[in-house]
Amino acid sequence: MTALSTKHLLGIKDLKPEDIHLILDTAQSFKEVINRPIKKVPSLRDITIANLFFENSTRTKLSFELAEKRLSADVVNFAASSSSVKKGETLIDTVNNILAMKVDMVVMRHPNPGAAVFLSKHIDAKIVNAGDGAHEHPTQALLDAFSIREKLGNIKGKKIAIIGDILHSRVALSNIFCLQKLGAEVMVCGPTTLMPKYITSLGVKVEHNLRKALEWCDVANMLRIQLERQDIKYFPSLREYTMLFGLNKEILDSLSKKIVIMHPGPINRGVEITSDVADSDQSIILEQVENGVAVRMAVLFLLAGRG
C-alpha cells in the first residue's frame, strides 16, 4: 500500500489499519530526514497549506508549521483571535476567502466537535483535523502510536492505560481508535464522573483505581484535566483529584515493572503528574513532541498524493 484510503484526515475512526501502518512507516523515513544536518526536502514545493487555529495550541501548531516547512510547502497561518472572525465572519466564509488565495490543504483546530467534517463537506481542499473539541485529535494519536512503537518495538499485544479526564479528551478517543486498530489492549482510568457513558461500547477496560491501572499496563498515557471544557464540577477539588489519580515517583517506583510514561501536553505539573515523573528516564514526553513533526510530515506528504 502506497496511498491512503481517505482524501482527508478527519479522525482515526475513518482510517484502516493499513493507513495507520503506512503513515507510521512513512514517518520513520521522515524522522531520519529531520535528524540530518539539512532537514529539508522538496516534496511539497508546489503545495500551499493554511493552518487555521480557532483554539489555542503550542505543540500542534508549531509542529504542523515545521512539518510543512521541512517539506518545502508554502505556509500561511491564521489565528481566529486576531482575525475577522472577531467581527462575526463565519467558518465557511473565512475558509472560502483563504481558499480563494489558492490554498491546497487546510490544517484546522476548532473548539467544536465535527468542525473538520463540516468543512470537508463544503470545500474542495484537503482537510487535516488538528483537534476538534472533545471529538478527535488524529495526529496526536498517530504520534503517540509512533512513539510507543519506537520505544517498545511493536504495538500489537501491548497494554496501554489512558488515565485522567477521558470525558473531555479528544486525545483519549483518537488513541483508543488508533491503538485498537494496531492490536493493543486499551484501558481507561479516572473518576466515574470523567468517563463518557458510552465508554464500554468502545471495547476498552475501565478502571477507577490508579495503582491497578499502572500495575496492568506497559504504557501509561497521563491526561490533563481540561478545566476549560468543564461547565460543572466533576470532582471536589484538584487536590483530591491529585491524591487519587495523580502519578508521582513514589507510586511509579513501587510498581512491579518499569512502565513507559506519556503525556500529550500541556502538562499541569503537580496535578496529573509530578515533575520528577514527567522528567524521569521512563518518560517519553519530549520524544512524542519530536516524533510529532515526522508524523505530520508523513500525513501531509501522503494526503498530497506523494506516497
Catalytic residue ranges = 59-60, 87, 109, 137
- DSSP designation for 232: S
Of 114, 133, 196, 265, the residue at the interface with ligand CP (CB under 6 A) is 265
Smallest gap from residue 191 Cβ to ligand CP (A): 22
Minimum Å distance from CB 127 to ligand CP?
17
Distance CA 128, CA 137 (A): 10
**Cell numbers describing residue 260:** 513507559
Residue number of the CB closest to ligand CP reads 60
How many residues contact ligand CP, by CB under 6 A?
10
Pick the stretch among 13-21, 93-101, 208-216, 258-266 that binds ligand CP (CB under 6 A).
258-266
Q: Is 191 in the site for ligand CP (CB under 6 A)?
A: no
| Nearest approach, Cβ of residue 265 and ligand CP (Å) | 5
- From candidates 266, 275, 279, 305, binder to ligand CP by CB under 6 A: 266
Query: Which residue in 49, 46, 45, 47 sits closest to 98, CA to CA?
Result: 49
Dist. CA 300–CA 139, nearest whole Å: 11
* Residues in contact with 40: Cβ distance below 8 Å, sequence separation at least 6, in sequence order: 69, 70, 71, 72
- Residue 296: CB atoms within 10 Å: 29
DSSP lists the bridge partners of residue 219 as 160, 260
Shortest reach from residue 61's CB to ligand CP, in Å: 6
Bridge partner residues of 273 (DSSP)? 247, 269
Question: Between residues 125 and 285, which has the closer beta carbon with respect to ligand CP?
Answer: 285
- Contacting ligand CP within 193-252 (CB under 6 A): none
Cβ closest to ligand CP, residue 80 vs residue 185: 80
If the CB atoms of residues 43 and 60 are measured against ligand CP, the closer one turns out to be 60
| CB-based contacts of 295, cutoff 8 Å, min separation 6 | 23, 24, 27, 30, 139, 142, 143, 146
Which is closer to ligand CP, CB of 207 or CB of 271?
Answer: 271
Q: Which is nearer to ligand CP, 165 or 185 (CB)?
A: 165
264 makes contact with ligand CP (CB under 6 A): yes
Q: Find all residues with CB under 8 Å of 59, minimum gap 6, and list them.
A: 264, 265, 266, 289, 292
Stretch that binds ligand CP, among 44-52, 159-167, 174-182, 260-268 (CB under 6 A): 260-268
Residue nearer to ligand CP on the CB measure, 98 or 285: 285
Gyration radius (Cα) of the chain, Å: 19
The nearest distance, CB 112 to ligand CP, in angstroms, is: 16
Cα distances (angstroms) measured from residue 280 to each of 128, 149, 250, 274, 277: 33, 19, 12, 10, 5
Shortest approach of ligand CP to residue 72 CB, angstroms?
23
Structure-block grid coordinates of residue 31? 524522522
Listed residue (287, 267, 292) closest to 277, CA to CA: 267
Per-residue contact string for residues 43-82; x = within reach of ligand CP by CB under 6 A: --------------xxxx----------------------
Question: Which residues form the interface with ligand CP (CB under 6 A)?
Answer: 57-60, 131, 137, 140, 264-266
